[in-house]
Amino acid sequence: MVSKIRGTQDFLDLILFNFIVDTTKKYLMCHHFTEIATPILESTELFKRSLGLETDVVTKQMFTIATQKEEELMCLRPEATASTMRAFLEHSIQTFPWKVFSWGPMFRYERPQKGRFRQFHQINMEIINTPSTWYDAYLITLLDRLFSQRFQLQNYALLINFLGCQADRQRFKTVLEAYLNSVKHNLCETCLVRKEKNILRVFDCKNSVCQEQYRNAPKIADHVCTECAQEWKQVQETLQELSVTFSVEPTLVRGLDYYDKTAFEFVSTELGAQSAFCGGGRYNHLAGQLGSKTEYPALGASIGIERLMLLLEPLKNILPLPQQPGIQVVVPMGPEQQNLALFIADELQNNGLCTDVLLDGGSLKSMLRKANKIGAQHVLIIGQEEQETGTVMVKNMQTGAEERIAQTALVAYLKR
């Protein structure tokens, strides 16, 4: 027996998965976003440039594919923002802002745990080429309404932070480094490495002793330039104006190098340690990192489908999940009626009636049981007598009533 790869999963029931994707798609299109799709395979260089060489994703979690030529190094995409920006630049998009979304599998080689998979699925939305921070409040509000109204989630929190511009972060790194040096005897190995290589990431450490130190650490939002301070104030005020509940979380930095200014996460305590089910923020310099001479300020967010599924599972009864269409089940009583059964099933399908047909034989009782399990509206029994008289015995599975109907009148009868 060959089993699936650790950290991957088979979806044997896609009702909730599709509900999430379909609802979000419709919702985003209603907000004038356009759906796009980019390849799952991308050049490794794309993520080295965008995510940063010192991020965990690039150093440890890439599914790189060995090819003949070193310069052709490719990988399974670990996220979608860099690909979307690549597409924007590659096709010289002239729509400003470019509001797009996509969805699909992402890949990260990491230790599987609750809510964390090596192949996971995301819905990704981006608003490319706008410096207006009102779009930050717009995107956050849009997501908040999606979760609270369309998905009826109540038990979640919105955390936001402001990472300043590049110059602010450069200055802040010195301030933070001085602080970390003063408490370094209390920090774990990982934090000491991050302090040297990717200093803002120290805040992501789950170690409680480290977290204790970070409670009193300097806050980046307190160390931003006048312009950034104004933007940060405006984003918060607009959110308040729109009645979006949020908490400012000074240690929220997002793991990836390309983020600056607004950063946010939607979290739920029901998810355990991996509590975020949606995250995003601004990435005003990603275009430059990818080699563009012009910067295209942008922002975006991604929703983790598997994590949202965990949150929606208990709400299945109150969500408007799509109903299975009513189905007609054709039951031939013997081998002589199989062809006729297929003929009738074909006729019904051609007339827009959802139909199944039982071709394995068996007793009437066992076939009725099967039809009941399928959820049949009607069972259409075809025995020798029906075959000879050009009729079908129609059993209404809700009332139990049976009626003999001419085969030629069957479609009209079932549609009435």
DSSP classification of residue 9: -
Compute the least distance from the CB of residue 129 to Zn ion, in Å: 20
Closer residue to Zn ion in complex, CB, 121/261: 261
**DSSP state string for 232-266:** HHHHHHHHHHTT---EE-TT---SSTT-EEEEEEE
- Phi/psi at 62 (5° precision): -80, 135
Compute the least distance from the CB of residue 262 to Zn ion, in Å: 12
Q: Closest Cα to residue 76, out of 110, 44, 115? A: 44
CA gap 169, 260 in Å, rounded: 9
Q: Computed over its alpha carbons, how large is the radius of gyration of the chain?
A: 28
Compute the least distance from the CB of residue 132 to Zn ion, in Å: 16
Closer residue to Zn ion in complex, CB, 123/187: 187
Alpha carbon distances (Å) from 308 to 106, 197, 275, 301: 15, 32, 11, 14
CA gap 45, 416 in Å, rounded: 61
Residues near Zn ion, by CB under 5 A: 164-165, 168, 188, 191, 205, 207, 210, 224-225, 228
CB neighbourhood size of 12 (10 A) = 5
Closer residue to Zn ion in complex, CB, 139/180: 180
DSSP classification of residue 222: G
- The two structure tokens encoding residue 312: 């929606």
Compute the least distance from the CB of residue 164 to Zn ion, in Å: 5
Q: Residue 209: in which H helix or E strand, if any?
A: helix 208-214
Closer residue to Zn ion in complex, CB, 151/203: 203
User: Are 395 and 378 within 8 A, CB to CB?
Assistant: yes
User: Crossing angle for the helix pair 81-90 and 44-51, nearest 10 degrees?
Assistant: 110
> 389 in the Ramachandran plot: left (φ > 0), alpha (ψ -120 to 50) or beta?
alpha
User: Are 65 and 93 within 8 A, CB to CB?
Assistant: no
Closer residue to Zn ion in complex, CB, 89/229: 229
User: Are 392 and 404 within 8 A, CB to CB?
Assistant: yes
Compute the least distance from the CB of residue 166 to Zn ion, in Å: 8
Closer residue to Zn ion in complex, CB, 17/179: 179
Closer residue to Zn ion in complex, CB, 220/380: 220
CA gap 40, 289 in Å, rounded: 21
Compute the least distance from the CB of residue 191 to Zn ion, in Å: 3
Compute the least distance from the CB of residue 168 to Zn ion, in Å: 4
Compute the least distance from the CB of residue 81 to Zn ion, in Å: 21
Count, residues in the chain:
416
Compute the least distance from the CB of residue 326 to Zn ion, in Å: 57
Closer residue to Zn ion in complex, CB, 191/368: 191
Closer residue to Zn ion in complex, CB, 228/244: 228
